[in-house]
């Protein structure tokens, strides 16, 4: 039972002083019942490691939170904006938690399943301060999940504006800290002017007053504004790692302690201006970096949309519409193998949804008309129609895309050096202190403090992040959307490029078809068109357009065999279309592109295709073959062998009649020989080869080619710029090396002045964030200038202006 006492101590959960009364539980003391409740919850769940990672990391519960605030989540319509996915057993919900601030938060939020058995798992995006909770809605409701987060100390941020998808860009607490630091720094500088210009002996009383005021003004900065640096440094120490904030905190403590000593003993005025300046400029630099990073991320996620389109039913016609053009109320036509880009209601057809992209479970889930289907699911049956009820969230699709790839640790020289940088700085500071102790003890404080502050590994860490982020943004504006930054490195190391032919080198929407065989009845033409319209294969789509008789109709027993053909029942008639071997069983060779037809037990004829190659193919193939080894793998016939050999060069390998399995095996063979392979093909029909390659690029042409198998999506209209994209990715490495060299030069020069005691801590505090910002500007400017020189569109606004 809780007891109270008037003893003033700090809370074992949040660290706040217990100013009114103390709540006890065993040997632990808390400032309020709320903090005790959270501690008991964590203790029962075996999550007390939360307190070992950081010192008193909890959030105060002195002001009780109203659980009924989230009662609106009992209404499924109001809860919908937070739900990413839901099936008969499981729900995925995402929340924004502004209280998230340290490794203890990360630990606790990733272990929510230990707080309640209904929680299956939780995934934390620490940078975005978001948590995605996967829970069994039969055991815990979405409202109870929100209340569980409240009980753990993390109230989800909810407002009408937030329901629309916006949230604060920069933590308000950091803005407040910056304001306090700036106010105190400015006033300390003002009160220090008499010290700077010298006061006479007759004004000693005034000097003591000014020094006392400076000491008082420094306290809020030391105890409040500098807290983010203390937390980060302590977190690193808890994890047995000295991060970049460790020397900064040491410099703050050294400067503050020395200043207090001088003021108290009357031996000097101290360096309160330097200490508060360190905190102010470092906070300002961090906030500016955070805002810049978020702006680049925003433009990548919301301005540079995937270069893919979805079929939308408008006035009885199928209209190819890019993702930004999809709105609530639109009816989407989702073909076999296509991904559902937005939440919607099934209005026509029989859905068989593969949610492995979302849940990891590959067993298709049947859905009936009127049921809700979620973004990220892949239709594995015939085409369906979906009424959009929630706008496309590209950031969610990007998150799903990245979740398909395991993170690979970096072991580069820069990464290793960055981790060891703090130890190097501390060693230099100790050496400087030892040297000046022997020759001029008065210089020790300045030398050590300046060394701790001026040395900065931020440039080493930021150069790669900002360069790759900017390059991804620019490539996205030009029609090449990358899964993540690692793809840039994979592209830059490519040695061998493998192309598919149909729909990649040829224009999938520009086929001329002629029919050979007995005349088809109108009903047969209609049935063939309906079956062909279910598929995303370029030849099937061309056939559906040629017959122009497709209409909404249910296809029973639909089945598509990759690289071979499609079959199914349309209005009681069995239809099969595809290769000669697939439809007729004959192995006889042919010299042109054909799609054979079977109607019930009869083979009435075939459609012959004459395709056109993409404009400028001879030029960009010539450029590529001078820098890379080239291959072509096609399931088609070898009629164009001589033409392709002329474009790709005599040393290129060109293989025809290749099945999807043979394409994948060929890429594996190249990799065994030490080649870094890039596969450029149809995102849905070359999935195996794209997945096997080091870099898989899916070519999208007025269709939904978004697939987990690829690392990049390329707008088909931009394929002639592939040599430019590859060259641009190679530039990224050179920019990072240049920024690394600049950072090394900065640190050598800065440390050379610091160890001599010629650099004041205040100037060092200005130089450190300036170094990081200069690297940011260098990488941003270099990447932007190179893009313009190569003829690439730099921003989404430029792209919109060019279109206009």
Q: Which residues of 371-401 are buried (b: 16+ CB within 10 A; e: fewer)?
A: ebbbbbbbbbbbbbbbbbebbbbbbbbbbbb
pLDDT band at 53 (very low <50, low <70, confident <90, very high): very low
pTM: 0.61
Average pLDDT over residues 704-718: 74
How deeply is 126 buried, as exposed, middle or buried, from its count of CB atoms within 10 A (0-12, 13-18, 19+)? middle
Beta strand residue intervals within 198-343, DSSP E: 309-314, 317-322, 331-334
Q: Do domains 67-163 and 311-396 have the same CATH topology?
A: no
CB 500 within 8 A of CB 680: yes
pLDDT for 682: 76
* pLDDT surpasses 70 at 327: yes
Closest to 255 (Cα-Cα) out of 740, 760, 728, 674: 760
Q: Using CA atoms, how far apart are residues 691 and 565, in angstroms rounded to an integer?
A: 22
CB 22 within 8 A of CB 4: yes
Q: For 343, how many CA atoms within 13 A lie in the half-sphere containing its CB?
A: 16
Task: Mention every residue, 6+ apart, whose C-beta is less than 8 A from residue 536.
Answer: 335, 336, 337, 338, 684, 685, 703, 704, 705
**723-770 pLDDT, tens per residue?**
999 999 988 878 877 877 887 787 788 888 888 887 776 676 567 666
The DSSP letter of residue 650 is: T
The DSSP letter of residue 716 is: G
Strand duo 317-322 + 331-334: pairing: unpaired
Query: What percentage of the chain reaches a pLDDT higher than 90?
Result: 10
Query: What are the sequence ranges of the domains in the chain?
Result: 1-64, 67-163, 173-298, 311-396, 420-478+727-804, 484-505+616-710, 512-610
Cα–Cα distances (Å) from 324 to 81, 222, 397, in that order, read 19, 48, 13
Class of the CATH-defined domain 311-396: mainly beta
Of 374 and 219, which is predicted with more confidence?
A: 219
- The first and second tokens of residue 421, run together, are 């940088």
Class of the CATH-defined domain 484-505+616-710: alpha beta
CB 707 within 8 A of CB 683: yes
Average pLDDT over residues 52-70: 50
Residues 512-610, CATH architecture: 3-Layer(aba) Sandwich (3.40)
Lowest mean pLDDT among 190-199, 434-443, 474-483, 719-728: 190-199
CATH of domain 67-163: 3.30.70.100
pLDDT for 57: 44
The DSSP letter of residue 613 is: B
Please provide the average confidence, as pLDDT, over all residues in the chain.
Answer: 76
Closest to 413 (Cα-Cα) out of 469, 471, 460, 462: 460
Q: Which residues pair with 366 in a beta bridge?
A: 352
């Amino acid at each position: 039972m809780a007891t109270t006492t008037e003893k003033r101590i700090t809370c074992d959960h949040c660290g706040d002083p217990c100013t009114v009364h103390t709540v006890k539980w065993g040997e632990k003391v808390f400032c309020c019942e709320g903090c005790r409740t959270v501690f008991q919850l964590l203790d029962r769940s075996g999550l007390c490691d939360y307190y070992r990672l950081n010192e008193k990391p909890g959030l105060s519960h002195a002001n009780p939170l109203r659980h009924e605030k989230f009662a609106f989540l009992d209404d499924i319509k109001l809860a919908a904006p937070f739900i990413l996915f839901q099936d008969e057993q499981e729900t995925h919900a995402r929340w924004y938690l502004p209280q998230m601030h340290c490794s203890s938060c990360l630990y606790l939020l990733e272990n929510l399943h230990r707080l309640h058995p209904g929680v299956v798992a939780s995934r934390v995006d620490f940078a975005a301060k978001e948590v995605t909770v996967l829970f069994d809605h039969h055991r815990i409701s979405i409202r109870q999940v929100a209340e569980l987060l409240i009980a753990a100390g993390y109230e989800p941020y909810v407002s009408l504006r937030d329901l629309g998808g916006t949230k604060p860009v920069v933590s308000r607490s950091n803005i407040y800290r910056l304001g306090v630091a700036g106010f105190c720094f400015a006033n300390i500088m003002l009160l220090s002017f008499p010290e700077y210009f010298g006061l006479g002996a007759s004004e000693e009383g005034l000097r003591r007053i000014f020094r006392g005021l400076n000491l008082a003004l420094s306290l809020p900065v030391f105890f409040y504004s500098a807290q983010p640096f203390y937390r980060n440094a302590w977190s690193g120490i808890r994890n047995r790692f000295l991060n970049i904030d460790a020397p900064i905190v040491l410099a703050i403590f050294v400067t503050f302690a020395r200043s207090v000593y001088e003021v108290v003993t009357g031996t000097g005025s101290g360096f309160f201006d330097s200490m508060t300046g360190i905190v102010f400029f470092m906070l300002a630099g961090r906030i500016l970096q955070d805002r810049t990073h978020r702006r680049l991320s925003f433009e990548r996620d919301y301005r540079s949309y995937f270069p893919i389109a979805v079929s939308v039913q408008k006035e009885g016609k199928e209209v190819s519409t890019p993702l930004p053009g999809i709105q609530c109320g639109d009816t989407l036509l989702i073909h076999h193998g296509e991904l559902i880009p937005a939440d919607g209601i099934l209005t026509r057809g029989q859905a068989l949804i593969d949610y492995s992209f979302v849940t990891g479970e590959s067993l298709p889930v049947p859905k009936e008309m009127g049921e809700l289907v979620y973004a990220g699911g892949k239709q594995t049956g015939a085409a369906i129609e979906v009424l959009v009820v929630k706008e496309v969230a590209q950031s969610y699709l990007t998150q799903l895309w990245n979740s398909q790839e395991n993170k690979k640790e970096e072991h580069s020289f820069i990464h290793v050096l960055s981790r060891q940088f703090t130890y190097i700085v501390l060693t230099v500071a100790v050496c400087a202190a030892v040297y000046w102790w022997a020759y001029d003890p008065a210089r020790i404080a300045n030398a050590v403090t300046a060394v701790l502050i001026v040395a900065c590994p931020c440039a080493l860490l930021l150069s790669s992040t900002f360069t790759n982020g900017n390059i991804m943004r620019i490539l996205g504006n030009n029609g090449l959307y990358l899964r993540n930054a690692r793809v840039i490195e994979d592209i830059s190391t490519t040695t061998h490029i493998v192309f598919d032919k149909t729909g990649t080198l040829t224009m999938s929407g520009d086929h001329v078809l002629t029919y050979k065989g007995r005349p088809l009845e109108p009903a047969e033409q209609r049935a063939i068109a309906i079956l062909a319209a279910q598929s995303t294969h370029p030849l099937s789509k061309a056939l559906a357009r040629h017959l122009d008789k497709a209409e909404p109709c249910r296809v029973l027993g639909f089945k598509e065999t990759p690289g071979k053909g499609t079959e199914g029942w349309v209005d009681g008639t069995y239809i099969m279309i595809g290769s000669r071997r697939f439809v007729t069983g004959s192995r006889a060779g042919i010299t042109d592109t054909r799609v054979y037809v079977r109607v019930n037990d009869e083979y009435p004829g075939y459609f012959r295709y004459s395709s056109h190659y993409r404009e400028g193919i001879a030029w960009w193939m010539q450029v590529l073959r001078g820098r890379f080894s080239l291959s072509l793998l096609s399931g088609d016939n070898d009629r164009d062998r001589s033409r392709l050999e002329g474009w790709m060069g005599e040393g290129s390998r060109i293989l025809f009649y290749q099945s999807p399995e043979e394409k994948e095996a060929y890429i594996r063979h190249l990799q065994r020989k030490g080649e870094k392979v890039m596969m450029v093909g149809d995102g849905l029909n070359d999935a195996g080869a794209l997945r096997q390659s080091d870099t898989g690029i899916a070519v999208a042409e007025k269709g939904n080619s978004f697939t987990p198998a690829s690392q990049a999506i390329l707008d088909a209209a931009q394929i002639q710029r592939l040599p430019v994209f590859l060259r641009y990715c190679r530039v990224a490495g050179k920019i990072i090396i240049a920024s690394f060299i600049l950072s090394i030069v900065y640190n050598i020069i800065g440390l050379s002045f610091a160890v001599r005691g010629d650099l004041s801590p205040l100037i060092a505090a200005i130089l450190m964030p300036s170094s990081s910002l200069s690297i940011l500007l260098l990488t941003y400017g270099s990447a932007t200038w190179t893009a313009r020189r190569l003829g690439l569109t730099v921003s989404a606004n430029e792209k919109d202006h060019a279109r206009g």
